[in-house]
Chains A and B, each alone.
Chain A
């Protein structure tokens, strides 16, 4: 049992390290005016009009359900995350939590209001973000986000089960008094 626990946390760390390395490499962004519309400046990874400013997509996956898609272009990076959801409680907790975050996307600056189809949540980092914020700290933020969501969902699950136990016990205890 002890080794299983070590194995689990070892499995997470290489996943996060790989994501960190890929993001650091992908986040080399520069300003790029739109080639389609005059005087416009669009994140090319969202517009997807011009194949020569887009780079190849990379998927870093830990398991078929748990993966991160990193799409890069000359002036923007889109990071989409698919989280592990083992049962229905996991599913609704993840859905609620991520919807909560997406509603506050403005505060989170680099968060995308809607996830890319097929994924749970997406980030969009543009060259303007990189000018205003330190690049290595942005990568830190995304990796911290992944870790925190994971631990938050598992502790919420335990909390819900614990509450359920108390609720059920208290109800039945009233009959034994």
Chain B
């Protein structure tokens, strides 16, 4: 699996298997699960009678909600967006009445499973919506996605360009080297957003922004989205979802690379041990002498 998924698989599978129960059994076998997703999100999935509820709690949720998240979620989930009941930051609840056909079930479950992706891509979608309407939002949106050091900045330059900048923190210096090798391999592809990265030094677009994370292990990656990435509007959502998961994608592949190297090392160890075993002599432990005694080699 090269690309990360944009839905929370646990949520999706739980809801689908609950929907596949016969209607009279749904109330008697409710879902009650707490699970987590990337970026420190805690999800709570539960059913009350015929209603499915999913709530999300994360460190970045407040910042996201105030930067376009509330409007975007309202537009996506309509009346499904309700006040959070269990101390979390966002909750959606909807009744499963009338969901019979497989396609409806799939759409229903996916809607819930995409809660995190919708929330996290809302600053970008806010700019996309403004650009499609011919407007330009001013200012830079600054969101601490994971921590102080790992943030996302979104800026709409004009109705044709949106700039998204990530600061990626590598706690392990070896990871930073792998990350740099991977970033070096990014060659421009026609039709794709332009990508630029810098190590330690924040890019020009962030001039004037206060309190930038500066550290040995922090790298900045800048993406510029162009109009073709959000027209038609249906294309914008998968683009935004993919973009927001960049940091997790990078770290996931660095870890895959490290485990691949481990496999190679293990094979190398076996090969060399075989060579070493050829060196071993098989000296007999006991040898009978002509005088009748036995010589034992210690």
Q: Is B99 an interface residue (CB 8 A)?
A: no
Contact check, B257 vs A163: say whether CB atoms are below 8 A apart.
Answer: yes
Interface size on B, residues (CB 8 A): 47
Interface size on A, residues (CB 8 A): 43
Residues of A within 8 A of B (CB): 88-89, 91-93, 96-97, 100-101, 104, 107-110, 132-134, 137-138, 140-141, 144-145, 148, 152, 156, 159-161, 163-176
Contact check, A108 vs B273: say whether CB atoms are below 8 A apart.
Answer: yes
Contact check, A100 vs B2: say whether CB atoms are below 8 A apart.
Answer: no
Binds A, one of B110-118, B143-151, B259-267: B259-267
Q: Taking chain A's interface residues, is the majority helix, strand, or loop, or is none over half, making it mixed?
A: helix
Q: Is B201 an interface residue (CB 8 A)?
A: no
- Alpha-carbon separation in the docked complex, A176 to B192 (Å): 6
Tell me the residues in window 270-285 of chain B with beta carbons closer than 8 Å to chain A beta carbons: 271-273, 275-276, 278-281, 283
Partner of B261, one of A96, A144, A165: A96
Contact check, A134 vs B281: say whether CB atoms are below 8 A apart.
Answer: yes
Q: Name the 5 nearest CB pairs between A and B, nearest first.
A: A137-B279, A164-B185, A172-B192, A176-B191, A164-B182
- Alpha-carbon separation in the docked complex, A101 to B239 (Å): 44
Tell me the nearest residue of chain A to B190, going by C-beta: A176
Chain B positions within 8 Å of A144 at CB level: 272, 275
Contact check, B177 vs A174: say whether CB atoms are below 8 A apart.
Answer: no
Partner of A148, one of B181, B229, B249, B272: B272
Contact check, A148 vs B242: say whether CB atoms are below 8 A apart.
Answer: no
Contact check, B278 vs A137: say whether CB atoms are below 8 A apart.
Answer: yes
* 29 chain-A/chain-B pairs, Cβ below 8 angstroms: A88-B180, A92-B178, A93-B261, A96-B261, A100-B262, A100-B265, A107-B269, A107-B273, A108-B273, A132-B283, A137-B278, A140-B279, A148-B271, A152-B265, A159-B261, A161-B185, A163-B257, A166-B2, A168-B182, A168-B186, A169-B189, A173-B192, A174-B3, A174-B242, A175-B192, A175-B225, A175-B242, A176-B189, A176-B192
Q: Is B38 an interface residue (CB 8 A)?
A: no
Q: How far is the CB of A102 from chain B (nearest CB, A)?
A: 11
Tell me the nearest residue of chain A to B238, going by C-beta: A174
Contact check, B281 vs A132: say whether CB atoms are below 8 A apart.
Answer: yes
- Alpha-carbon separation in the docked complex, A145 to B275 (Å): 9
- Alpha-carbon separation in the docked complex, A141 to B193 (Å): 51
- Alpha-carbon separation in the docked complex, A82 to B184 (Å): 28
- Alpha-carbon separation in the docked complex, A107 to B271 (Å): 12
Chain A positions within 8 Å of B184 at CB level: 164
* Known A-B contacts A96-B265, A175-B192; A163 and B276 likewise in contact (beta carbons under 8 Å): no
